[in-house]
Amino acid sequence: MTVTIPTTQTGSAPVPRRPRARRSLNLAIGGVLFGAIAVIALISLVWTPYGLEDTTGERLAAPSPEHWAGTDRLGRDLFSQLMVGARLAMAVGFGSVFIAAVVGVVLGLAAAIAKRWIDDAISSLLDIAIAFPTLLLAMLIVAWRGASMESAILAIGLAGAAVIARLTRITATRVLAQDFVTASRTSGTGPLRLIGLHVLPNVWPTLIVPLALQFGGAVVAEASLSYLGLGSPPPNASWGRMLQEAQSTVLVSPLAAILPGILLVATIIGMNLLADGLRDVADPSSRSIR
């Protein structure tokens, strides 16, 4: 059974609904942007124009039929690096969001259904985790485990789990206070079945947009770690490391810095718009009344 939690009180002004056409436009634009990056990432699994260690090209060459985006200061093909960078961004984004979702939802549900002192303890830990800078926590974990893509995924996922846990706890607490949940408890429904039947179906629509923001934040965090030399090591290409390597030659070869930045922005905007549209589809309270 799914219930929509009211967000307005009696007598208050109605919540403005976005036009259906605008929601569909957000979903379409987000799907196109994010889908294009995802397709590039998938293609890079089986094909790239050049190998990442191929330095046979002319240094800082302009775009040409041989090198579609030009080359970097070592003669490596920029388009091949951009493709592999898209694959790395997708892996880090989905991997860290998965970790944040699993850890955050488990902690949030545990706090919502546990006794008061356990709830207080988990909430205090979440407050500390949220106050701790995400990038700094990621840097500490990467420095401890060593620079690798797996370390980046783990660090960024754990850093984002606290926000998801807090939101899950708040939403689950509201659901558990509903009359139909009380009736289900009275009929003998156990805690795990109660969560599966009533809590999770009402919690997950609330988490779509925050998880999408986690995805965008994870891509930016990975690029930041790679820019600082703490991301996935060579020969793997990262948009962050491409930006770091291109800063010394930006006046001679601006595309080496511009193209990774464009892909970063397109990925984040695409995912946010896509998630916003999916949230409108999944959450009945956000739909306009016909």
The tens place of each residue's pLDDT in the chain, 290 residues long, gives 444 444 444 444 444 555 666 667 888 999 999 999 999 999 999 999 999 999 988 999 999 999 999 999 999 999 999 999 999 999 999 999 999 999 999 999 999 988 888 888 888 888 888 888 877 887 888 888 888 888 889 989 998 999 999 999 999 999 988 888 888 878 877 777 888 888 888 888 888 888 988 998 899 999 999 998 888 887 788 999 999 999 989 999 999 999 999 999 999 999 988 888 777 776 545 544 33
Tokens encoding 91:
């892996």
Q: At what angle do helices 78-113 and 116-131 cross, to 10 degrees?
A: 150
The torsion angles phi and psi of 229, rounded to 5 degrees, stand at: 85, 15
Residue 83 near residue 38, CB atoms below 8 Å: no
Q: Which residue has the tokens 């965090």?
A: 221
Residue 181 near residue 190, CB atoms below 8 Å: no
Note the pLDDT of residue 206: 85
Please state the pTM of the whole predicted model: 0.84
Residue 78 near residue 71, CB atoms below 8 Å: yes
Which residue ranges form the domains of the chain, and what is each CATH number? Answer: 20-43+73-286 (1.10.3720.10)
Q: Which residues contact 173 (CB under 8 A, 6 or more apart)?
A: 112
Give the C-alpha distances (Å, rounded to integers) separating 197 from 64, 94, 181, 190. 58, 26, 10, 10
